[in-house]
Amino acid sequence: MKTRNLFIFLVFVASTALPLSIRIGRDINFAKDYNPARAAAIRQVIQDERFKFVDGIVSYWPPDFGTRLSFEGDAASLNEFFDALRGLHGISLRLILYRGRDDEQRRDSPWQLDYSQARPDQLTVYLNLNAPSLDFEKVKLPEWPAN
């Protein structure tokens, strides 16, 4: 019994001492050797005040070591966000549609931007199909030219 209690205590201490996710502002946790010009261009988009920032989180789970930033806005704002992202040279864009939640346990923003250190030259936009502020008939998905 003492061994079990000691094990539980050590797991608790280890899990609280090493956070695997932390909050971040309007920034991205780029890899240390990431192209500084690309990082600056991406930061210029995410720090643009036209896009209402809600929250951000950095995950230290390998292999992604990802950053996810949440934004709010209407279809016009989302369209501007897409345009700004498509203007980034050397960065591919991926879109994932999902049915987000808006209940007492979780409130998903209309869209989120995800950066993964495992895929450093790709940004992923998660588009919440349940977002009441987005009129999807007005959303203009960007063109993805063939690579």
Domain carrying residue 35:
20-128
**pLDDT at residue 24 in the model:** 93
Q: What is d(CA 26, CA 48) in angstroms, rounded to the nearest whole number?
A: 9
The count of domains in the chain is: 1
Do the domain assignments include residue 144? no
- For the stretch 22-81, pLDDT in tens is 999 999 999 999 999 999 999 999 999 999 999 999 999 888 899 999 999 999 999 999
Do the domain assignments include residue 117? yes
Residue 106's pLDDT band, with cuts at 50, 70 and 90, is confident
Burial class for 42, CB neighbours closer than 10 Å (0-12, 13-18, 19+): buried
The pTM score is 0.82
More confident: 62 or 138: 138
Residue 16's pLDDT band, with cuts at 50, 70 and 90, is low
